[in-house]
Amino acid sequence: MDFWAWLILITKVLAVFLLFAIGAMPLVLLERWILGRMQSRYGPHRVGWRGTLQTAADGLKLGIKEDMIPGESDKGVYWFAPVMMVMPALAAWAIVPFGPEVEMGRTIGLWVADLNVGILFFLAMGSLGVYGVVMSGWSSNSKYAHLGALRSSAQVISYELVMGLAVLAVIIYAGSLSLIDIVNAQAGLWFIVPQLIGFLLFVIAAVAETNRAPFDLPEAESELVAGFHVEYSGMRWAFFFMAEYANMLLMSAIVATLFLGGWRGWTIPGLEALTGVFWFLLKCSVFMFGFFLLRATQPRFRYDQLMNFCWKILIPIGVVNLLIAAGLRMAWS
Amino acid sequence: MCVAHLASVVQRSRLRNSMADNLETTVAFWYLAIAAVGAGGLMLVARNPVHSAISLVIVIFHVAGLFVILGAGFLAVAQIAIYAGAIVVLFLFTLMMLDMRRLPEERVTHRQIWLGIPLGILLAIEGVVVSVGTPEISASIKGAFPPATVSDLGGSTQALAVALFNEFTLPFLGASVLLTAATIGAIVLARRVEAHEQADFPQAAEGSSPVETPAEPALEESAR
């Protein structure tokens, strides 16, 4: 690698990182506005023009708040848990293709890395996210946090299987583990058409993996107070929030990439990269809106319903779907 | 375990160094190797089981890094997804269920440690002899898939698939059946006998209530 290759790589990494550091703030505001509208109230409307500066004010408040550590906690693990929460969520973004290749003196792909095992890397990072939850829940030495962490680990391990089965069906159609190849394989037909069942399974599993309503048992605010991060305050608490939004965005991006053709769509000649990024972001925002919509409209699962739904309904469907996909692929080739 | 691990790492590094020797790879290798062995040692001496489990995760991460250096991306990702993402999480889950904070303070060492130490030293010497002392042996350990074969097949993922689904299909399926049987066995053993099913298990009906001894009837049933 020469100097320019390093420079391009570092620029890409910084760009993706900044997307999060800044991107989470307008998303929080948007969620609160949408939730407010759906519940017939205003939502934030005091700070700045119609409440636009609300998250900035909240961020400032979190920044100057005291960082409390419970007396009987396991300090090292407690300190490290928020980092462990954010790290996999950010690392998985390395493989997401934001747009097509651009010619600027040299060919630059609008992604950080084209791994030949890309989609498996995403699954691996997704399965690491649970460590942040388990470590924070265990080290806090609090019953609420402990219960939240227990629930979360069981839930994430179970729904990971559903997600894996849905992804496998896509891999069978695309014939590659690289996300770039998967997007290119959807040039003619988006995978949502042959893999509608896989798409639905993946979306359900994605909501469960991000611990969002109606799968928000690990942090159920009405019974567990806030679940695994109940003892955290200040910037450490903000890390949990950032990780949640990073994960939601990541899941939206992966759904768009796997099933909706990623950055593919109608293009204006000469502006392929720009339109590509536009289509990709548009598809992502549809799913982000879906996350907010679910939170405003759906009641929470009961724990036995959650487990039965996964093991007795989703996983059998996923296995049958995989078998059918493999059979069709064999018949065609 | 640590010693065998170290030996295999040294051996791999030699194979790698004979292929390509550049600064980034060497620095990455030594960092990953030292961190993996260090975390392995921490895992053994930690008095808190949760700390041991977290150290194990660190070992798994660094060994995955070693796989990446060797160009085996699939193995690296599988290592993280399966060992760190599933198995150690289940360890932690169990530890949290039992709410184990610390092990007892007095050190528990087995009597057979006096047999274990010489055997461990012997294994370490063997590892060093094989990897360092005898160039002709380490040169012959190339495996069935030297780099040229792997790149002909299109990558390490494809090479693994070719081996797994052509040459070793039967052992692979055998392992799957074995795991499925073990899972079903665990479900049978852990299954709670409901009240309306007691007619099928007369032992449960005449003994104490089935809720207090849930595993017993099913145990005897499976033993027959």
Q: Which of A152-161, A199-208, A209-218, B202-211 has the lowest mean pLDDT?
A: B202-211
pLDDT at B15 over 60: no
- Residue B103: the pLDDT is 61
User: Pick from B76, B81, B96: which is nearest to A149 by CB?
Assistant: B96
Give the residue numbers in B contacting A (CB under 8 Å), as ranges: 48, 50-51, 54, 57, 73-74, 76-78, 80-81, 84-86, 89-90, 92-93, 95-97, 99, 155, 157
CA dihedral angle for residue B162, residue B164, residue B168, residue B172, rounded to 10 degrees: -160
A106: β partners = A104
Cα A184 from Cα A174, distance rounded (Å): 9
Q: Across residues B73-82, what is the average pLDDT?
A: 86
Residues of A in contact with B155 (CB under 8 A): 116
Q: Which residues of B touch A138 (CB under 8 A)?
A: 50, 92, 95-96
SS3 B62: helix
**Does A214 sit behind a cis peptide bond, omega within 30 degrees of 0 on the bond before it?**
yes
- Asked if pLDDT for residue B3 goes beyond 60, the answer is no
A279-306 mean pLDDT: 85
Query: Residue B96 and residue A77: Cβ atoms within 8 Å?
Result: no
ipTM of the assembly? 0.81
- The Cα of B25 is separated from the nearest Cα of chain A by a number of Å equal to 13
pLDDT band at B170 (very low <50, low <70, confident <90, very high): very high
User: How far B74 CA sits from the closest chain A CA (Å)?
Assistant: 6
Distance from CA of A23 to the nearest CA of B (A): 28
- pLDDT tens for each residue of A151-201: 888 888 888 889 989 998 888 888 888 888 888 888 878 888 788 888 999
Angstroms from A303 CA to nearest CA on chain B: 16
| Chain B positions in Cβ-Cβ contact with residue A153 (cut-off 8 Å) | 89, 92-93, 96
User: In whole numbers, what is the pLDDT of chain A averaged over residues?
Assistant: 83
Instruction: Give the closest-approach CA distance of A273 to chain B in angstroms.
Output: 29
Say which residue, B76 or B147, is predicted with more confidence: B76
Confidence of residue B196 (pLDDT cuts 50, 70, 90): low
Of A124, A131, A146, the CB nearest to B77: A124
Q: Which of B50, B77, B90 sits opposite A117 (nearest CB)?
A: B77
Q: Which two tokens stand for residue B16?
A: 């790698």
In this predicted structure, what is the pLDDT of residue B10?
46
Closest residue by Cα to residue A106 from A262, A257, A1, A261: A1
Give the residue from chain B lying closest to A121, CA to CA. Answer: B77
Evaluate if residue A38 carries a pLDDT over 90: no
Amino acid at A280: F
- Could you say which DSSP state residue B195 is in? G
CB contact under 8 A, B80 and A124: yes
Task: Sort out which chain A residues have CB atoms less than 8 A from B93's CB and list them.
Answer: 134, 150, 153-154, 157
Mean pLDDT over A70-91 rounds to 83
What is the pLDDT, as a whole number, of residue B179? Answer: 92
Please report residues of A whose CB lies closer than 8 A to that of B77. Answer: 117, 120-121, 123-124
Two tokens, residue A168: 């496998």
Q: What residues in chain A have their Cβ under 8 A from chain B's Cβ atoms?
A: 74, 77, 115-117, 120-121, 123-128, 130-131, 134-135, 137-138, 146, 149-150, 153-154, 157, 160, 177
In the predicted structure, residue B206 carries a pLDDT above the cut 60? no
- What is the predicted pLDDT for the residue at B208? 46
What is the structure's pLDDT at A266? 77
Residue of A nearest to B97 (CA): A150
pTM, two decimal places? 0.79
The percentage of chain A sitting over the pLDDT mark of 70, rounded to a whole number, equals 99
Name the least confident of B34-38, B83-87, B167-171. B83-87
